[in-house]
């Protein structure tokens, strides 16, 4: 009897089944993390666009404009 399958609700899973389940869970976790980062970046970009209007009100000197465009 396998140590991995204690409660005996059917045949013990094979090593291939255990490994494929682990790989599937890892891929699902990576996909979830990538989706979360994508949503966070979109929200951050919107905030930056909204704040960009305030920068125009402040105004830049000619030197600051050159540095900003050159950078």
pTM here is: 0.48
Question: What is the three-class DSSP state of 71?
Answer: coil
Q: Is residue 33 within 8 Å of residue 26, measured between CB atoms?
A: no
The answer to whether residue 43 sits within a structural domain is yes
Q: Is residue 40 within 8 Å of residue 32, measured between CB atoms?
A: no
The answer to whether residue 8 sits within a structural domain is no
Structural domain boundaries enclosing 53: 15-70
pLDDT of 1:
45
The answer to whether residue 10 sits within a structural domain is no
Q: What is the pLDDT of residues 21-46, one digit of tens each?
A: 999 999 999 999 999 999 888 877 77
The answer to whether residue 56 sits within a structural domain is yes
Rounded-to-10 torsion of CA 32, 38, 43, 45: 170
The answer to whether residue 38 sits within a structural domain is yes
User: For 25, what's the count of Cα atoms within 13 Å in the CB-facing half-sphere?
Assistant: 6
Question: Could you give the number of structural domains in the chain?
Answer: 1
The answer to whether residue 4 sits within a structural domain is no
């Amino acid at each position: 009897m396998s140590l991995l399958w204690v409660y005996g609700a059917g045949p013990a899973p094979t090593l291939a089944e255990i490994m494929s389940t682990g790989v599937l869970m890892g891929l699902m976790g990576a996909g979830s993390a990538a989706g979360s980062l994508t949503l966070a970046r979109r929200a951050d970009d919107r905030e930056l666009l909204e704040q960009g209007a305030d920068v125009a009100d402040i105004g830049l000197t000619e030197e600051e404009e050159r540095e900003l465009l050159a950078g």
